[in-house]
């Protein structure tokens, strides 16, 4: 079942349950999927990897907004953003734990032969491909920096 089909099924369920929190998030996902499918060069279809990138982008946008609302003491808006993040995350693959992520990154570092922070580009290129959807890019970047600075 594609992401679009899952979203449509959940959207119908949320409408019947009158679940406003889920409806907001699911409609945002549906709109993003439609935009991606109708964008130039998409050919009316998007692959699984593109679906994951799309979901990660939606979550990143909401996390950025959440951070802003939190610093401005707008708890009402921050709560809405967190609710949407929780719903969108349900469609992403299981996220790696910190220990699993660190072990994977150490393996990637040894594969690439990286030894200093100057090699970060090589490591990040391979890491973002291998760990797509399983970990946040910012978290990967921070861990790679930490591991290469040792």
The CATH number given to whatever domain includes residue 28 is 1.10.1510.10
Q: Mean pLDDT, to the nearest integer, of 46-70?
A: 90
Q: Name the nearest CA neighbour of 130 among 150, 145, 113, 109.
A: 109
pTM of the model: 0.75
What is the torsion angle, in degrees rounded to the nearest 10, for the CA atoms of residue 86, residue 92, residue 94 and residue 100? -100
Same domain as 83, residue 37: yes
pLDDT in tens, 83-121: 999 999 898 878 888 888 888 888 888 888 877 788 788
Q: Give the gyration radius of the chain's Cα atoms.
A: 18
Token pair, residue 26, equals 């699911």
- How many structural domains are present in the chain? 2
Same domain for 107 and 51: no
Domain that holds residue 109: 98-148
DSSP 19-36: -HHHHHHHHHHHHHHHHH
* Per-residue pLDDT tens digits for 73-84: 999 999 999 999
Assigned token pair, 91? 């469609």
Q: What does the alpha-carbon distance between residue 4 and residue 61 come to, in Å, rounded to a whole number?
A: 20
Q: Are 9 and 90 in contact (CB under 8 A)?
A: no
């Amino acid at each position: 079942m594609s992401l679009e089909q899952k979203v449509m099924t959940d959207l119908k369920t949320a409408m019947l349950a009158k679940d406003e929190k889920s409806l907001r998030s699911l409609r945002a996902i549906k709109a993003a999927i439609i935009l991606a499918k109708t964008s130039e060069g998409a050919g009316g279809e998007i692959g699984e990897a593109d679906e994951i990138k799309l979901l990660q982008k939606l979550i990143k946008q909401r996390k950025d907004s959440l951070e802003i609302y939190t610093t401005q003491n707008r708890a009402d808006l921050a709560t809405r953003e967190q609710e949407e993040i929780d719903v969108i995350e349900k469609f992403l693959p299981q996220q790696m734990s910190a220990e699993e992520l660190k072990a994977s990154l150490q393996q990637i570092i040894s594969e690439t032969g990286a030894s200093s922070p100057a090699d970060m580009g090589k490591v990040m290129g391979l890491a973002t491909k291998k760990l797509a959807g399983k970990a946040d890019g910012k978290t990967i970047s921070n861990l790679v920096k930490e591991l290469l600075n040792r």
